[in-house]
Amino acid sequence: MRVEILCTGDEILTGKTVNTNYSHIARRLVDVGLGVHWGTTVGDDRESLLQAFRQAGERADAVIVNGGLGPTVDDLSQEVAAQAAGVELELSDYWLKRMEESYARRGRAMPPNNRKQALLPANAEFIDNPIGTACGFAVTIGKARFFFTPGVPREMRRMLDEQVLPRLLALGGIKGVSRLKRFHTFGIGESRADQMLGDMPAFQNGGGIKLGFQAHYPQLETKLALSGEDDGDLAARLAPVEAEVRRRLGNFIIAEDDQTLEGVILGKLLERGASLATAEMFTGGHLAARLAPLAGAEKVFRRGLVARHAGELDASGVNPDAAAAAAQTLRERSGASHALVVLIDLDEDAGASTDRPDFGGTICIGLADAGGAIARQARLLGGRDWVRIGATELGLDCLRRHLLGLPVDERIDFERR
Amino acid sequence: MRVEILCTGDEILTGKTVNTNYSHIARRLVDVGLGVHWGTTVGDDRESLLQAFRQAGERADAVIVNGGLGPTVDDLSQEVAAQAAGVELELSDYWLKRMEESYARRGRAMPPNNRKQALLPANAEFIDNPIGTACGFAVTIGKARFFFTPGVPREMRRMLDEQVLPRLLALGGIKGVSRLKRFHTFGIGESRADQMLGDMPAFQNGGGIKLGFQAHYPQLETKLALSGEDDGDLAARLAPVEAEVRRRLGNFIIAEDDQTLEGVILGKLLERGASLATAEMFTGGHLAARLAPLAGAEKVFRRGLVARHAGELDASGVNPDAAAAAAQTLRERSGASHALVVLIDLDEDAGASTDRPDFGGTICIGLADAGGAIARQARLLGGRDWVRIGATELGLDCLRRHLLGLPVDERIDFERR
């Protein structure tokens, strides 16, 4: 089955907004084994939209359209879809009522221009948007089935997974089931991960499992994609391969599937009835921001300190001893069972540059618990933002490793010594 | 003149790489007043490339092609360009020599597969790549002139500015200039902004200025796009419209153009030689994370506290009086001239849900400076993440309003009372 993605909107067309909706939709299509064959971007312009719908309708079997379902006059997707499908627009009483109720629940009257969002091409298949006012729908144009989704990312993502992908799989006559097993690692780059796993028989031609990587610095996602007859079949084939991947990637695996590094840490702390205090320099709250907002963190996260100077964090300088001592002090003052301190000594010529691959900093991490305090030092390069992101991850990973009884000073690929 | 962008490569098509080359090229086209009319993405596939070249050749006057000029077998741009233009590939002795010399300078022999990069469509116009081995070129396909650029971003960017854009401007016989004026607001939704501005004569057909909106919750970007003969002409036409938009959007404007809310706050604090301490609940460091990492913040940002319980922030509860008192205490303890405290009382049934539109919280903001302490209370709905994002923005906006002498308790659209 040939699937295309069609993104609409002047913001996307003119590059003011980087098109991350496109890459999200494309990755999900690849994940479920459908793939993507063509991408089109057009603006909020009737003529271009009509031409794009017609051309995609000639080339493809299915098209996912993103954007243009909003309440303003430049949102044209429903109108042009109706024109291309050769039908009229009809008011959906159901959707109008849903919108009015949604506004009423929030104690507001629906603005009159939202009414436009309830106009759908006649006989369109309704695709529910449980979290927004832009109604999704499907129509046939040419030889392709078109699925219309809103441009708001969280609405699009939920509708894609819950409603559009199942319809696409049914349309493609794909009966079996597919599965995507994901490992998240910190500390190894894509080429090294490929070297560590690439020779496994399951990943060769005919091995039945597709190996893929997705780098989101500083994490790397390793994906195993497979499809089969039923869940039992998938589980039986996946189990030994999963175990081998776990063995090979070892301590670098910070989380699997929908887990996050911060979620794993929180889980471990909750399990032990432990509590945590953090202190950070330059990472500017990013460490606390990963942990503190999590559901359940109110039982664990005691206190976070953010500063630009080591002295504000009770550290006598930026070195391993100072970091360990600051963690001890923080633990005592906060009354938390665990304390994590991340200090940074940035290179002199930091300036305002955010894109200097040769610019870096020295990170000193201190960890304290009832057993005492330890420290870890590392030098990271790659410019201001990369050092900050890397330092945050390194701090969290040290805590994870310490909680799991793993070595905290295993060398990572991003590190210079 | 109608200009299109055509991006090639499986990495881009499948979403593995987010297409920032597209947005860069599009923004540069808009910057120079050409605009962009259509975007196409295809993979490393002969048939798709040929079809994409031919379709763009029918629609456009000029096409910028990005990618597919590398040395490997999946790089097909030259070959398919020759086919679409109806010519043969010819070896460019000049480019072959340039590549060999470039390798020789680095003390290496040119790998044999790089020879492929010197094969260009017969009679193609040569477009120099001063910093790489992928040779650019231009050919005519259908009624459009096609400009081929490499996928390596720094090579593409330099060739675009130095060689492709001047050729495009000459081709379009364009002398004029264009401008995009942007206003960033917090507190009004897209529909309301449309109601506030939509009736201005400048934005009607023939009014000469295009009005557009981009919502990045909780901020809204309002854009005025126009083109004209020269900068003086643009400035003269824009000035009265800008002033009227500023008047209508009023206190809700948090920043303009490339400014950010946090940058405006930092600027105001720096201007006065002031310093800042923050304390936040549930926003989990996001407030500190917006301010502390900024260049220059080391002179202003004294200390940030992050906690999940009001008591850890020296607040006796979550109410306006407690927030004001906590801000006073924070100001005294930290020695900062200004203190900002954001407290939240979350709805009981928070649970782990991140996506409950009817779930919310009550935000209490306390602000203290030499003149005393004030407080602001607001109720936000929209699920855990939205409440957190909204509370962070509300806290920062209160500080901005206070620093500018504006009312801090003007009702915002996201607020329920």
From the list B286, B387, B274, B410, the residue with the least C-alpha distance to B339 is B274
Most B-contacting residue of A7, A28, A38 (CB-CB within 10 A), to test interface: A38
What is the CA B316 to chain-centroid distance, rounded?
41
The letter for the amino acid at A26 is: A
CATH numbers and ranges of domains, chain A: 3-171 (3.40.980.10), 177-256 (3.30.70.2860), 262-416 (3.90.950.20)
Chain B's closest residue to A215, CA to CA, is B16
CA torsion sign, A348 to A350 to A355 to A360? positive
- Chain mean position to CA A16: 21
Burial of B195 (0-12, 13-18, 19+ CB in 10 A): middle
Question: Tokens standing for B108?
Answer: 């290496």
Give the residue-averaged pLDDT of A326-333: 96
Find chain B residues with C-beta within 8 A of A283's C-beta.
293
Residues of B in contact with A26 (CB under 8 A): 13-15
Q: Could you say which of A73, A102, A293 has the minimum Cβ distance to residue B284?
A: A293
Question: Does residue A3 carry a pLDDT above 60?
Answer: yes
Question: What local confidence, expressed as pLDDT, does residue B356 receive?
Answer: 60
Q: Tell me the mean pLDDT in the region A182-202.
A: 93
pLDDT for A387: 87
* Sequence-separated (6 or more) residues with CB below 8 Å from residue B46: B76, B79, B80
Q: Label the pairing between strands A276-281 and A301-307.
A: parallel
Say whether pLDDT at A338 is over 50. yes
Q: Which of B15, B297, B306 sits opposite A27 (nearest CB)?
A: B15
Interface of B with A in 208-247 (CB under 8 A): 212-215, 223
B282–A285 C-beta distance less than 8 A: no
pLDDT for position A275: 97
pLDDT tens for B18-33 read 999 999 999 889 877 7
**Inter-chain contact B285–A286, Cβ cutoff 8 Å?**
yes
Distance CA B121, CA A229 (A): 48
Contact yes or no for A306 and B308 at CB 8 A: no
For chain A, the residue count is 417
Residue A353 has pLDDT above 80, yes or no: no
Q: Which two tokens stand for residue B203?
A: 């934005």
Q: Would you call B43 and A59 a contact, using CB atoms and an 8 Å cutoff?
A: no
- Given CB atoms, is B379 within the 8 Å cutoff of chain A? no
Q: Which of B16-30, B45-59, B307-321, B338-352 has the lowest mean pLDDT?
A: B338-352
Mean pLDDT of A335-344: 96
Confidence band for B139, pLDDT divided at 50, 70 and 90: very high
Q: Quick check: B356 contacting A, CB < 8 Å? A: no
B19 at A interface, C-beta within 8 A: yes
Minimal Cβ distance to B212: which of A10, A41, A52: A10
Mean per-residue pLDDT, A65-72 = 94
Highest mean pLDDT: which of A301-310, B225-234, B250-259?
A: B250-259
**What distance in Å separates residue B194's CA from the closest CA in chain A?**
7
Query: How high is the pLDDT of residue A62?
Result: 98
Average pLDDT rounded to a whole number, residues B153-163: 93
* More reliable by pLDDT, A126 or B178: A126
Count interface pairs A-B at CB distance under 8 A: 229
Give pLDDT, residue A408.
94
Residue of B48, B284, B298 lying closest to A292 (CB–CB): B284
Question: For B25-69, how does the pLDDT look when each residue is reduced to its tens digit (9 = 90+)?
Answer: 998 898 777 889 999 999 999 999 999 999 999 999 999 999 999
Q: Which residues of B touch A276 (CB under 8 A)?
A: none
Q: How many of the other CB atoms lie within 10 Å of CB of A215? A: 13
Residue B305 forms contact with A (CB below 8 Å): yes
Mean pLDDT of chain A: 92
Cβ separation of B282 and A289 shorter than 8 Å? no
Testing the interface with A: which of B11, B13, B157 to mutate, by most A Cβ within 10 A?
B13
Within 8 A by CB and 6+ apart from A342, the residues are A278, A279, A280, A281, A283, A287, A323, A363, A364, A365, A391, A392, A394, A395
Chain A interface, best mutation among B294, B308, B411, by max A CB count within 10 A: B308
Over residues A94-129, the pLDDT tens digits come to 999 999 998 998 888 899 889 999 999 999 999 999
8 Å CB contact of B190 and A70: yes
Range B110-130 average pLDDT:
92
Q: Do B292 and A306 touch (CB under 8 A)?
A: yes
Q: Which of A24, A190, A306 to mutate to test the interface with B (most CBs of B within 10 A)?
A: A306
> CB of B195 within 8 Å of any CB in chain A?
yes
- Name the amino acid, one letter, at A165: L
The pLDDT of residue B95 is 94
Is B204's Cβ below 8 Å from some Cβ in A? Answer: no
Distance in angstroms (rounded) separating the CA atoms of residues A364 and A345:
8
Q: Is residue A181 a contact partner of residue A96, using CB atoms and an 8 Å limit?
A: no
Residue B417, pLDDT score = 60
Q: Residue A212 contacts by C-beta under 8 Å, 6 or more apart in sequence? A: A30, A222, A223, A225, B16
Please report which confidence band the pLDDT of residue A413 belongs to, taking 50, 70 and 90 as the band edges. confident
**pLDDT at residue A352 in the model:** 47
Mean per-residue pLDDT, B131-138 = 92
d(CA B219, CA B222): 10
Using CB atoms, which residue from A38, A42, A308 is nearest to B301?
Answer: A308
Residues in chain B within 8 Å Cβ distance of A73: 194, 198
Cβ-defined contact of B19 to A14 (cutoff 8 Å): no
Chain A, 71 to 130: residues with Cβ < 8 Å from chain B are 71-74, 102, 105-107, 111, 113-114
- Residue-wise pLDDT for A232-289, tens only, equals 999 999 999 999 999 999 999 999 999 999 999 999 999 999 999 999 987 878 899 8
CA distance B63 to B145: 6
Nearest residue, CB atoms, A36 vs list B14, B192, B351 = B14
The pLDDT-based confidence of A213 (bands split at 50, 70, 90) is confident
Q: B397 vs chain A: nearest CA distance in angstroms?
A: 19
Residue B198 CA: distances (Å) to CA of A109, B133, B193:
20, 50, 8
Residue A417: which pLDDT band, with cuts at 50, 70 and 90?
low
Given this model, what pLDDT does residue A51 score?
97
Q: Which residue has the higher pLDDT, A403 or B383?
A: A403
Looking up tokens 């202003």 gives: B300
Ranked by mean pLDDT, the top range of A82-96, A347-361, A371-385, B379-393 is A82-96
Write the CB contacts of A147 (distance below 8 Å, at least 6 apart in sequence): A62, A63, A64, A65, A127, A136, A138, A164, A167, A168
Residues comprising chain B, all counted: 417
Segment holding A179, helix H or strand E: strand A177-186
Q: Does B384 touch chain A (CB under 8 A)?
A: yes
Q: What percent of chain B has pLDDT over 90?
A: 68
Set of chain A residues whose Cβ sits within 8 Å of the Cβ of B194: 71-73, 113
Element spanning A408, H or E? none
pLDDT, one tens digit per residue, over B167-177 is: 998 898 877 67
How confident is the model at residue B87, as a pLDDT?
97
Mutation target vs B (from A7, A8, A14; most B CBs, 10 A cutoff): A14
pTM for the model stands at 0.76
- The pLDDT of B248-259, averaged and rounded, is 96
The pLDDT of residue B141 is: 98
Residue B198 dihedral angles phi and psi, to the nearest 5° = -60, -25
Over the stretch B394-404, which tens digit does the pLDDT of each residue have? 999 999 999 99
Give B87→chain A minimum CA distance, Å.
Answer: 26
Answer whether B40 sits within 8 Å of A39, measured CB to CB.
yes
Residue with tokens 């999704």: A136
Task: With cut-offs at 50, 70 and 90, classify the pLDDT of residue A178.
Answer: confident
